Amino acid sequence: MRTLIFLLRKEFKQIFRNKALLPMIFISPLLQLLILPLASDYEVRNINISIVDHDHSTYSQQLISKITASGYFQLVDYGNSFQAAFNQIEKDKSDLILEIPQGFEKNLVRESKEKIFIAANAINGVKAGLGGAYLAQIISSYNNDIRLKWVQQPKFNPIPQIEVTTSNWFNPHLNYNFFMVPGILAVLVTMIGAYMCSLNIVKEKEIGTIEQINVTPIKKWQFIVGKLLPFWIIGIFIFSIGLFGVARWVYGIVPVGNLFLLYGFMSLYLVALLGLGLLISTFSETQQQAMSITFFFTMIFMLMSGLFTSLDGMPQWAKFIANCNPVTYFIEVMRMIVLKGSGFADIKNHFLIMTGFAVFLNGFAIWNYRKTS
């Protein structure tokens, strides 16, 4: 235990002596947590729309007013030439074209039906799909408004109707930040832990102190624990600041579940993650090699963890990779405990899987360091 305490003192002194490293560890993740959730929003607004109105009637003006008042669309061009509107799309100034035909109001009144044309710039498939869906919903709502004006509802409706009442659980106001902030916090803790820990042993190799450590009576597990524990403590500190500082006071996210359960899983996750960082460090000879390998794994961890895209929409081979990704389980547990208030019975399988990751990665790191030393 005394040997381990000396190693921990050495590691903390090395960390806090590096003035360039401290902002990267403590300030960068908090700034990223402040900024990234504001941009990570799948709700597309301010969609540029060009409207070609051949009718110029009262009904067409009401439809245009309803579209522009929705808050999702910004009218950038209004006229009676489809070619002019198409030129706006070619110049990337417009995302959608709505063409209202001549006789729009007359056909609605006389024949109770009419067709309108929607063209979408599908270079950005997500924006085009959402924009078309928003516009279709607005037109459908406008259509219902017209029917209510035309049809006199009877006092007693003999036709049975089904009324649907929606209740949003765990996120009643559908605030997208509530879904993204826990996941982004998990990824930021992952990046800091993986990067910093992967450079640890490599730095000893580059400055030549690894040979001095190898000739001392320090045991291999003591050396690995001495390298792991400082960043484990720093990871918990950053997580706490992000959860109780940024997430709570900036985004208003208050954890619903048990904090001891959340910190217990997070502590186990950090052991597994730092074990991966140390394993990369034992394989690398230079810091550049360690950073390249860590970047490779970090990109996979971010894009195939369910942070931005649902795992259910992935092909089977991608789901297999996601299930081998420890970040996947941490993000799931974060959202389950923070938003749903899940208990231990709900995440016991996640605990078992993360224990397996921790034992395998740290055991492999200790074995590989003994082999290369």
Rounded to two decimals, the pTM is 0.78
Measured CA to CA, the distance from residue 280 to residue 276 in angstroms comes to: 6
**pLDDT tens digits, 77-109:** 998 889 999 998 888 889 999 999 998 888 888
Contact 193, 231 (CB under 8 A): yes
Helix 28-39 / helix 220-241 crossing angle, nearest 10 deg: 50
- Note whether 182 and 92 are same-domain residues: no
What pLDDT is stored for residue 284 in this prediction? 84
Measured CA to CA, the distance from residue 93 to residue 82 in angstroms comes to: 15
Contact 282, 199 (CB under 8 A): no
- Note whether 358 and 317 are same-domain residues: yes
Q: For residue 160, is it within any domain?
A: no
Q: What is the SS3 assignment for 48?
A: strand
Share of the chain above pLDDT 70, in %: 93
Q: Which band of pLDDT confidence, cut at 50, 70 and 90, is reported for residue 263?
A: very high
Measured CA to CA, the distance from residue 274 to residue 246 in angstroms comes to: 24
* Alpha helix (H) residue ranges in 151-255: 176-198, 200-207, 209-214, 220-241, 248-249
Q: For residue 346, is it within any domain?
A: yes
Q: For residue 159, is it within any domain?
A: no
Q: Which of 116, 150, 184 is the last residue of a domain?
A: 150
Measured CA to CA, the distance from residue 314 to residue 185 in angstroms comes to: 23
What pLDDT is stored for residue 373 in this prediction? 45
**pLDDT tens digits, 205-247:** 777 677 676 667 777 777 778 878 888 988 899 999 999 989 9
- Note whether 146 and 222 are same-domain residues: no
Q: For residue 343, is it within any domain?
A: yes
Share of the chain above pLDDT 90, in %: 27
Tokens of 82: 């489809």
Instruction: Mean pLDDT check: name the lowest of 26-35, 40-49, 268-277, 327-336.
Output: 40-49
Q: Which band of pLDDT confidence, cut at 50, 70 and 90, is reported for residue 155?
A: low
Measured CA to CA, the distance from residue 302 to residue 22 in angstroms comes to: 24
Beta bridge partners, 47, equal 73
User: Is residue 273 pLDDT above 70, yes or no?
Assistant: yes
What pLDDT is stored for residue 371 in this prediction? 44
Q: Which domain covers residue 138, as residue numbers?
A: 47-150
Q: What is the mean pLDDT of the chain?
A: 85
What pLDDT is stored for residue 326 in this prediction? 93
101: left (phi over 0), alpha (psi -120 to 50) or beta: beta
Instruction: Mean pLDDT check: name the lowest of 24-33, 131-140, 253-262.
Output: 24-33
Measured CA to CA, the distance from residue 329 to residue 269 in angstroms comes to: 9
- Note whether 216 and 361 are same-domain residues: yes
- Note whether 121 and 205 are same-domain residues: no
Q: Which CATH number do you get for residue 135?
A: 3.40.1710.10
Neighbours of 71 (CB within 10 A): 9
Tell me which amino acid residue 75 is.
Answer: L
- Note whether 105 and 36 are same-domain residues: no
Q: For residue 166, is it within any domain?
A: no
Mean pLDDT value across residues 153-179:
74
- Note whether 195 and 313 are same-domain residues: yes
Q: For residue 171, is it within any domain?
A: no
User: Is residue 156 pLDDT above 60, yes or no?
Assistant: no
Tell me which amino acid residue 225 is.
Answer: V
User: Is residue 359 pLDDT above 80, yes or no?
Assistant: yes
Measured CA to CA, the distance from residue 307 to residue 187 in angstroms comes to: 9
- Note whether 309 and 289 are same-domain residues: yes
Which of 295, 317, 106, 323 shows the shortest CA–CA distance to 195? Answer: 295
Q: For residue 170, is it within any domain?
A: no
Instruction: Mean pLDDT check: name the lowest of 98-107, 153-162, 231-240, 283-292.
Output: 153-162
Q: How far is CA 274 from CA 199, 237, 250, 361, in A?
A: 11, 15, 29, 9
Neighbours of 211 (CB within 10 A): 10
- Note whether 182 and 273 are same-domain residues: yes
- Note whether 69 and 29 are same-domain residues: no
What pLDDT is stored for residue 151 in this prediction? 58
Mean pLDDT value across residues 33-50:
82
Q: What DSSP state is assigned to residue 247?
A: I
Contact 325, 301 (CB under 8 A): yes
Measured CA to CA, the distance from residue 15 to residue 197 in angstroms comes to: 11
Instruction: Mean pLDDT check: name the lowest of 27-41, 262-276, 289-303, 330-344.
Output: 27-41
What pLDDT is stored for residue 37 in this prediction? 86
Number of domains making up the chain: 2
Neighbours of 213 (CB within 10 A): 15
**pLDDT tens digits, 347-356:** 999 999 999 9
- Note whether 53 and 24 are same-domain residues: no
Instruction: Extract the runs of DSSP E, i.e. beta strands, from the chain.
Output: 47-53, 73-79, 96-100, 117-120
For the chain, the distance separating the N- and C-terminal CA atoms, rounded to the nearest angstrom, is: 23
In sequence order, what are the residues at sequence separation of 6 or more whose Cβ sits closer than 8 angstroms to the Cβ of residue 66? 138, 141, 142
- Note whether 180 and 296 are same-domain residues: yes
